[in-house]
A and B are shown apart, each in its own frame.
Chain A
Amino acid sequence: MPRAAGGVVVTLFAALAFTPLAGLLHRALVAPAPPPGHAQAIVVLGAGVDRGVLTEASLRRALGGIALFRRGLAPLLVMLGPDDPGQRTEADIRVELAVDLGVPPAAVLSEARGRTTREEARLSWQALSARGARRILLVTGGQHMPRAAALFRRAGFDVVPAPVEELPAGATRPQGRLELARGLLRELVARAYNRAAGYL
């Protein structure tokens, strides 16, 4: 039994690292988004902070949201991302970055209480529905987008997906392909959990 499992693992590893299989699976599970249109707000989902330093994914998403704002696609930018105990919140660090990059302080909101995508959807709805903002540009990673968009639609939003590519779908290096496969597996588990819990 362990020997057979080992054979399966080695075969899977070779296929995912040394063939384009991971990219093909990514393209099958992550639909390409059309160019983003106008909306009433841009909502940037959290992706992690460690001791006051944004993770690479968090920075990519924040910059993606700021770029959409600078293109004039929405008048309001909402930065999400929870606290790191004893440190500044991810949302506040991103707001500061946005202001540094030319977003007017009055046009950017910080919401740092959401710890899961579902909580982020609920809290965003509380903050934005009061302002009459229902149509949003949702900024997150391409792999995370299908689940995030479904949760935000369920919260009441009219969602326009604006995915940020955090991993190259056409990765040619084995490490890049394995990271792509790892992200897909993580997201499939997250979708299964959300479905089992009745969130999707």
Chain B
Amino acid sequence: METAFILVVVALTSALALAIARRQPHRRLAAAAGRALEAVGFIALFLLSNVAVGFALALALRATTGSFVSLYVNDDVSLLVLSVLQALVWQSWREPEDPAQPRG
């Protein structure tokens, strides 16, 4: 029941967004979906990198300083949120800037 409810809610808001987006010409849904998939891929890559570096750093700190850092710290949900931010900045940075846009 909860699963169906959530999917219906998301379907409704997606339909609304689609209706709004279609008012703008020359916008392709497939290209937008592709860019979204690319962003998700970057998020996954940043998350994997963060966890791997965190794991190695925790083990290195244990070995070199004698202080104990739990490996479970790499399981913190904030690492996922920060990976999302890293990926979004990375993706925006890689995209060519539109010279017609005013710079703020």
Contact = CB atoms under 8 A, between A and B. Distances in A.
Contact of B6 (A2, A10, A174): A174
Interface in A1-15: 1-10
A5 B41 contact: yes
Contacts of A8: 44
B21 interface: no
Contacts of B7: 18
Contacts of B39: 6
A113 B34 CA distance: 51
B38 A115 contact: no
- Specify the main secondary structure of chain B where it touches its partner: helix
> Which one of A5, A17, A186, A193 has the highest number of Cβ atoms from chain B below 10 Å of its Cβ?
A5
B70 interface: yes
A38 B14 CA distance: 57
A129 interface: no
Contacts of B42: 2, 6
Q: 6 closest Cβ contacts across the A-B interface?
A: A2-B41, A6-B41, A6-B40, A6-B37, A5-B41, A3-B38
Interface of B: 1-3, 6-7, 34, 36-45, 55, 68, 70-72, 75
Given A18-B7, A193-B71, A1 B2 contact: no
Given A18-B3, A173-B2, A174-B2, A2 B38 contact: yes
A9 B75 contact: no
Contact of A3 (B3, B37, B70, B72): B37
Contacts of A115: 68, 70
A172 interface: yes
A33 interface: no
Given A9-B44, A174-B6, 9 more contacts: A2-B41, A3-B41, A6-B38, A8-B44, A10-B37, A18-B3, A173-B3, A174-B2, A190-B71
A3 B34 contact: yes
B44 A5 contact: yes
Nearest to A13: B40
Contacts of A186: 72, 75
Contacts of A6: 36-44
